[in-house]
Structure 1
Amino acid sequence: MDITAINEMFANIRENTDWDLQGNLVWGYFFVNTTPEPLQGLADVLEKQGYTVVEQFEPELEEGEAPYHVLHVEKIEIHTAESLDKRNHELQALAEANGVEDYDGMDVGPVEFAHGGDDA
């Protein structure tokens, strides 16, 4: 997701929710790999950086899709479009450094939807 898409996402949140974009939100980040082992190693690294591991799973596949594994982590924090763009680049580099095939992007929600951690 480039900075233009991030700016559009922020505009959409402002227009369609009552979330305070200048306050804490739950940011979920997703990583994908064909095997689970590199994801577990990355999960350990991310936990040490303050992320909460939500789950690691193998999704149900459509016919013909190759199997893959997903790591979902969350962090309660405040982002601007610029800081989120920077975070996306950092997570992509971290995925590559840990042998994970793809940083697959993020989602966001209000803090009451957090899956775990001290703030939930």
Structure 2
Amino acid sequence: MIKKSYIKEYFKTINSIKNLDLKKELNWGFYFSHKEKEHLINISKNSALNKYDFKEIVSCDNIYYLQIAKNEIHTEESLYKRCVELYKFSKNQGIDRFDGFDVEEVLKA
């Protein structure tokens, strides 16, 4: 599980590293890893994930990674709550691991 202290440090450094304004809507990506690709494909269709955009499933060293994303504004507390929610989701769905998050600017159409 991601600790609050990690999120706090992430917020402290995000502006200098990625030059992002955390008070604006950003694209937040969330990751899950599992040994079976088919399981992640099925999970990506779960109604609990409907509020997210499916990004991709990639493979590395026989482990598969599912990325979902959502454009939103987060505070340290709201991001921590989202991570707890997704961690619990991964446990309930038999996913090996909730792997965390990243953030980037919202791509303009």
TM-score normalised over the length of structure 2: 0.88
Structure 2 counterpart of 1:33: 34
- Structure 1 runs not aligned, ≥5 long: 62-66, 113-118
Q: Which of the pair has more CA radius of gyration?
A: 1
Distance 1:100 1:48, change over 3 A: closer
C-alpha RMSD over aligned residues:
1.8
| Residues in 2 aligned to 1:79 and 1:42: alpha-carbon distance in whole angstroms | 24
| Residues in 1 aligned to 2:42 and 2:48: alpha-carbon distance in whole angstroms | 10
Give 1:99 shift: 1.4
Structure 2 counterpart of 1:43: 44
TM-score normalised over the length of structure 1: 0.81
Distance 1:48 1:88, change over 3 A: closer
| Residues in 1 aligned to 2:86 and 2:33: alpha-carbon distance in whole angstroms | 12
What amino acid maps onto 1:81 in structure 2? E
Decide whether the 8 Å contact of 1:29 with 1:104 is kept in 2: yes
- Structure 2 runs not aligned, ≥5 long: none
What amino acid maps onto 2:66 in structure 1? L
- Give percent identity, aligned residues only: 31
Give 1:47 shift: 7.1
Decide whether the 8 Å contact of 1:38 with 1:98 is kept in 2: no
What amino acid maps onto 1:3 in structure 2? K
Q: Is it true that 1:93 corresponds to 2:82 in the alignment?
A: no
* Alignment: residue pair count: 108
Q: Greater share of strand residues, 1 or 2?
A: 2
Distance 1:48 1:107, change over 3 A: closer
Structure 1 counterpart of 2:69: 74
| Residues in 2 aligned to 1:99 and 1:108: alpha-carbon distance in whole angstroms | 25
Give 1:18 shift: 3.4
Distance 1:46 1:9, change over 3 A: farther
Moved over 2 A (4+): 14-18, 46-49
